Amino acid sequence: MPVNLSNTKPLAWDAASLDADTKAMLDNLQPNILQAHVRESLSLLLLNFGDGADGRRFLKALVPLMKSARKHLDEVRAFNKTKAPGTPYVGVGISRLGYLKLGHETAKFGDNAFKSGLKRRKDTLSDPPVSAWEPQYQGEIHAVVLIGDATPEPVAATRKRVLALLPKTAKVLGEETGAGLRDDQGRGIEHFGYVDGRSQPLFLADQVAQEPGTNWNPFFPLSHVLVADPLAPHPSRHFGSYLVLRKLEQNVRAFREAEDSLADALGLTGADRPRAGAMLVGRFRNGTPLRLHDRPSSAGFPVQNDFSYRDDPGSRCPVGAHIRKANPRDSRDEGLERVLGVMMARRGQTYGSRTDRPWDDAPPQTRPTGGVGLLFMAFNSSLQSQFEFTQQSWADNPDFPAGGTGHDPVIGQGKRDVKVRFPKQWGSSALGAPQHQVPQTVTMKGGEYFFMPSLAYLKSL
């Protein structure tokens, strides 16, 4: 039976009744797509192949260091039962130019954004000119190798093994080092200090079963992340996913100043002050959704994700908040992101080190202005209708979902000339005076589009 990517039920990946094609799919799919792989410590290598044949041999030689999605899921299950540690994650993505270098045609790939490459999409995405990107992103990136694990040691050892396989004709254009950032309660956060990575599309039955799902159904069909691998021996059983990688630098000091200015403009004092930042992000630093609470709750971990925006025209969570712009949830009956198929699987990691405590209230001048940020990564079945649509039509569009909303305060790019209004009080329809949008505090420093091929393809090289 062909793999049904549109199945309306979550995938019971361990069911005895699983059909042969779906089993083959799981045995040949790279991990980290259907379910996040631990990558608390992450090394990301950007490669250029001087010689196509050498590039092919290298990619094939990587396969023994990799594992399948199924092996990863088995490891997760074992870890949950006995705390047995899993093996490191090695993931490989190939860019359009990479496939050409390896001697392939790219006509069979369905995604036009992938077939253009990120550099040629910079106007669509209002990105800085390529000359302003970091040098490692300016040249021809052919492949990315991701090496991740819970601690640095296995990553370092695996990185060594990967580099030992690299032919002399290949170059490492650059390397990024990701390191998970956690608050004092152990929750994963990003550099502005907010809990991140909580709201995700879930594809697997065991994951969906752990979520309440009363107000927000986290289940999404496989068609959101999987596409047939057009160059694999059996594209009907061998699947891959498009990966977007963007290095997003965060000016933490400027963001903290913007939070303070907004709190002042709205007259928020004392325990109400953190609501200013929550109005920009859509959650408080500890992950509490502003849709549900006017102050950070102590509801514990994992933070709440079972909410919709039904009955909230923006008086609780402003329609311009980052999480509401990037996922409007149920703006229409079935939910806009479901109708349009926009939800992607975010798998980013923070980069850069700092000595302050990102989650606390220390003054803005003690915060970094650069050198830290997010290695934004997400898996898509269509870069155009998922990542690019989110960035261009929602985040960068001051009229989404309605005129006067403004840019996404976290990731919006472009001239922020629209004035915006925020609710004076939580839950009140009375709006404060129009005011300038917060400045842009996230800067794109480079990136690329990749396809994460099936293991069957890599073995066939």
Residues of this chain that bind ligand HEM (CB under 6 A): 190, 192, 194-199, 248, 250, 281, 283, 322-323, 326-327, 373-374, 376, 387, 390-391, 395, 410-411, 442
Closest CB 348 distance from ligand HEM, rounded Å: 7
Q: In 38-178, which ranges are continuous DSSP H helix?
A: 52-62, 69-82, 96-101, 112-116, 135-138, 152-165
Q: In what helix (H) or strand (E) does residue 172 lie, and over which residues does it extend?
A: strand 170-179
Closest CB 183 distance from ligand HEM, rounded Å: 12
Instruction: Identify whether the C-beta of residue 44 lies closer than 8 Å to the C-beta of residue 445.
Output: no
Closest CB 122 distance from ligand HEM, rounded Å: 14
Q: Which is nearer to ligand HEM, 31 or 409 (CB)?
A: 409
Q: Which is nearer to ligand HEM, 198 or 224 (CB)?
A: 198
Residues with Cβ within 8 Å of 209's Cβ and at least 6 positions away in sequence, in order, are: none
Q: Which is nearer to ligand HEM, 146 or 181 (CB)?
A: 181
Q: Which is nearer to ligand HEM, 268 or 411 (CB)?
A: 411
Burial 345-355, CB ≥16 within 10 A → b, else e: bbbbbbbbeee
Q: Which is nearer to ligand HEM, 287 or 423 (CB)?
A: 287
At 22, list the tokens.
């779906």
Residues with Cβ within 8 Å of 386's Cβ and at least 6 positions away in sequence, in order, are: 224, 341, 342, 343, 344, 378, 380
Residues with Cβ within 8 Å of 408's Cβ and at least 6 positions away in sequence, in order, are: 320, 322, 325, 326, 394, 395, 396
Q: Which is nearer to ligand HEM, 96 or 283 (CB)?
A: 283
Rounded Cα gap, residues 254 and 243, in angstroms: 29
The HSE-up count of residue 162 (CA atoms within 13 Å, CB side) is 29
Burial class from Cβ neighbours inside 10 Å (0-12, 13-18, 19+) for residue 8 reads exposed
Closest CB 277 distance from ligand HEM, rounded Å: 10
Closest CB 301 distance from ligand HEM, rounded Å: 13
Closest CB 445 distance from ligand HEM, rounded Å: 11
Closest CB 345 distance from ligand HEM, rounded Å: 10
Closest CB 256 distance from ligand HEM, rounded Å: 13
At 69, list the tokens.
């999605």
| One-letter amino acid for residue 340 of the chain | L
Q: Which is nearer to ligand HEM, 383 or 455 (CB)?
A: 383
The HSE-up count of residue 405 (CA atoms within 13 Å, CB side) is 26
Closest CB 116 distance from ligand HEM, rounded Å: 17
Closest CB 289 distance from ligand HEM, rounded Å: 8
Rounded Cα gap, residues 229 and 93, in angstroms: 12
The residue whose Cβ lies closest to ligand HEM is 199
Mapped onto helix, strand or coil, the DSSP state of residue 175 is: strand
| One-letter amino acid for residue 101 of the chain | K
Mapped onto helix, strand or coil, the DSSP state of residue 163 is: helix
Closest CB 248 distance from ligand HEM, rounded Å: 4
Enumerate the β-bridge partners of residue 45.
145, 175
How large is the angle between the packed helices 152-165 and 52-62, nearest 10 degrees?
140
Rounded Cα gap, residues 59 and 457, in angstroms: 10
Maximum alpha-carbon separation in the chain: 65
Q: Which is nearer to ligand HEM, 387 or 457 (CB)?
A: 387
Residue 163 burial (CB count, 10 A): 14
Residues with Cβ within 8 Å of 270's Cβ and at least 6 positions away in sequence, in order, are: none
Residue 249 burial (CB count, 10 A): 22
Closest CB 325 distance from ligand HEM, rounded Å: 8
Q: Which is nearer to ligand HEM, 250 or 382 (CB)?
A: 250
